[in-house]
A and B are shown apart, each in its own frame.
Chain A
Amino acid sequence: MTLHPTSPHFKKNAARALGDAELQVALSKVKRGFIDKRVAAAARLPEFEALRDQARDIKNHTLAHLDLYLERYEEKVTASGGHVHFARTAAEARDIVLAICREAGARTVTKGKSMIAEEIGLNAHLEAAGITPVETDLGEYIIQLRGEPPSHIIAPAVHVNATQVEQDFRRVHKGLDEKRDLSEPVKLLAEARAVLRERFLAADVGITGANFLVAETGTSIIVTNEGNGDLTQILPKTHIVLASIEKVVPTLEDVCQIIRVLARSATGQDMSVYTTLSTGPRRPGDLDGPENYHVIILDNGRSSMLNTNFQDMLRCIRCGACMNHCPVYQAVGGHAYGWVYPGPMGAVLTPSLIGVDKAGHLPNASTFCGRCESVCPVRIPLPKMMRHWREREFERHLSPAAMRSGLAFWGFFARRPALYTLAMRFAVSALALVGRSRGRFQRLPLASGWTAGRDFPAPQGGTFQAQWRRERRRSVG
């Protein structure tokens, strides 16, 4: 799926998602699961807002010196006996992974959760080469069985319900007793744990992502709750870390600052259960740990985002808060976005990585309510960047077709009053919060049904319509 994004069909995807009753039930749980917990966790830490500033500043500082921190990181990994590989493109990264797996004589590889692995379409590539990849994060495992991509960056199976999981396990797990009771989540977990335990112990190579790469020490860090990432990386002979250039931070102290906002923003925990710092392969005398340690650092278009309107996106720490709080994501789920990264962060990042021609619809998937930016732990101005994409689309003369479909997209929401009301409830409260409403529309084209009884608040910077008109004037005149 990674190689064939369905992002160009966002509207169709979204329409299908809205009609999917099971998906809608699953999405309704996002609020209980994430939003309330984040609020509670933030409230328990008086310094939370100031730490968000710290996290932003650390990332900005690192990006401004990215070449030098990467050099230092590479040096330290090499000094600790590990190997660093740089990859320009997804294809290069896949080939490096495959070469390392072949050298290790790998038949099965276990995988911790890695968005980079999704980005480069690693599983299909390994399978085609006769190597079996086994996802070990419970959510990733479930969607692997279902042949689906993740629908959320930290809760990949958030769209799946327990009954579906039971059906998948019964379909795939050979030798599973028909009479075995799998009617509750806890029983499903026990089944998955037992099956995956065997896989962990049998794997030849373990592949994980990285939340951070530390320049000071040459350390890679993963943050998980299940412990699957750790079993993935300490049991096999070879550990491969998949990372991208912007994951590097200067020092251990910087990591400490950022992890204080990471879990709180993601799941509302003060700390995720496991934060693991790995430096090089096993040491003399060690009884466990990998003998070979490889880090693959992917660019895939990121270096070209530096020093542009999109540089801020490279601060992203993949916490998922922006999608948890996004009315569009809450309505249509992650699959509608059609590629690896959904929600507001995906709407900004995807056009950078796969091209605006394929993902030009995504920056339109926004009500500009501003909630994503208000919760982003590294304060990425996501709505502003979505607007940049629209402007850029226009300048590139992908318009008017693309802009017309953007308008059509808006109309799509406008014609679905229930969804629209939901979206606007967020929009209005966000506006009340920042108090920068500068006016109200009495009437809007396509939304007259909705505006008949109420006013429509206009966010600063203009609605899509206003902007569209402005852009058209600019290009015409």
Chain B
Amino acid sequence: MSAREDVFASIRRSLGVTGNELPRRQVVADRIERAPKGLIPGRGQVEGDERIALFRREAELALATVAEVETAADVPRAVADFLRNHNLPAAIRMGEDLRLRTMPWEETALAVSRGRSDGGDINAVSHAFAGVAESGTLVMVSGPENPSTLNFLPDNHIVVVAAKDLVGDYEEALRKVRATYGRGQMPRTVNFITGPSRSGDIEQTLLLGAHGPRRLHVIVVRG
């Protein structure tokens, strides 16, 4: 028997099943079809301004910094402000995401380059697919316009998220993924990001910027 057959045979022997029992198969098919939501904590179940405030509070607790702007057109200036305030070079790298492309970067003095990161970029700007209020988590999906390397290689990661894309809980965020990509289908990578990279591996001292970004700055577009 192949290893695969053997492993399945051993599982079935222990469980006392053949794998062909219809009721069992039905239970499994149903569960995957219905994908029951389980228990959703009350914390994230707020709306409007309260949801934005919760998202912000939780993201800050996870040591991200957060700015709010009124419209997408305000984002480039907010990015430039952030970089200036931290004495960072006025250069950013970003993907071809249409939402970012259409922002007025030319109104700033920022040098903008595009594409994946090769590890040499100091700052990256990305657009989130969603944000989860219950823990201040950003949800990023990969694709030709959104290379995953931008989420991890640069020292400073600036993420734009639209207030309308903020949801209360993880379940809602993944339902949004399912609605966009189709049932049972996923983008290649979905990154849930909650605060900047960190490690506690040396004497349990909390240190930021272990391998990923040292700073995570979130810009919430309200309008």
Contact = CB atoms under 8 A, between A and B. Distances in A.
Partners in one complex: yes
Given A230-B212, A282-B188, A158 B204 contact: yes
Contact of A289 (B4, B6, B189, B198): B189
Interface in B6-61: 6-8, 10-17, 19, 24-25, 27-28, 31-32, 35-39, 41-43, 58, 61
A226 B148 contact: no
Interface in A314-340: none
A68 B22 CA distance: 11
A119 interface: no
30 contacts: A29-B204, A33-B200, A51-B39, A54-B39, A68-B25, A72-B28, A158-B204, A226-B197, A228-B211, A231-B211, A235-B149, A252-B174, A252-B178, A253-B37, A270-B62, A270-B134, A273-B62, A273-B197, A273-B198, A274-B192, A274-B197, A277-B192, A283-B144, A283-B187, A286-B188, A287-B95, A288-B142, A288-B149, A303-B7, A305-B14
Given A33-B204, A165-B202, A66 B15 contact: yes
A10 B190 CA distance: 43
B201 A137 contact: yes
Interface of A: 26, 29-30, 32-33, 45-47, 50-51, 54, 58, 61, 64-72, 76, 80, 85-88, 92, 136-139, 142, 155-158, 161-162, 165, 185-186, 188-189, 193, 196-197, 200-201, 215-219, 225-228, 230-231, 234-235, 245, 250-254, 256-257, 259-260, 267, 269-283, 285-289, 297, 299, 303-308
B35 A253 contact: yes
Given A33-B200, A87-B7, 10 more contacts: A185-B202, A189-B199, A215-B28, A226-B212, A234-B152, A253-B35, A269-B62, A277-B192, A289-B188, A306-B14
A245 B12 CA distance: 13
Contacts of A155: 200-201, 204
Contacts of A26: 203
Interface string B155-186: 00000000000000111001001100000111
B202 A138 contact: yes
Contacts of A251: 31-32, 35-36
B85 to A, nearest CB: 21
Contacts of B126: none
A142 B2 CA distance: 38
B7 A86 contact: yes
Contacts of B98: none
B194 A272 contact: yes
A29 B119 contact: no
Given A256-B171, A299-B10, A274 B191 contact: yes
5 closest Cβ contacts across the A-B interface?
A227-B212, A139-B201, A226-B210, A285-B144, A33-B204
Given A33-B200, A215-B32, A256 B169 contact: yes
Contacts of A218: 186
A69 B196 contact: no
A151 to B, nearest CB: 12
Contacts of B7: 86-88, 245, 297, 299, 303
A299 B186 CA distance: 27
A477 to B, nearest CB: 33
Contact of A234 (B8, B189, B203): B189
Given A278-B188, A278-B189, A273 B195 contact: yes
B119 A201 contact: yes
B204 A186 contact: no
B13 to A, nearest CB: 8
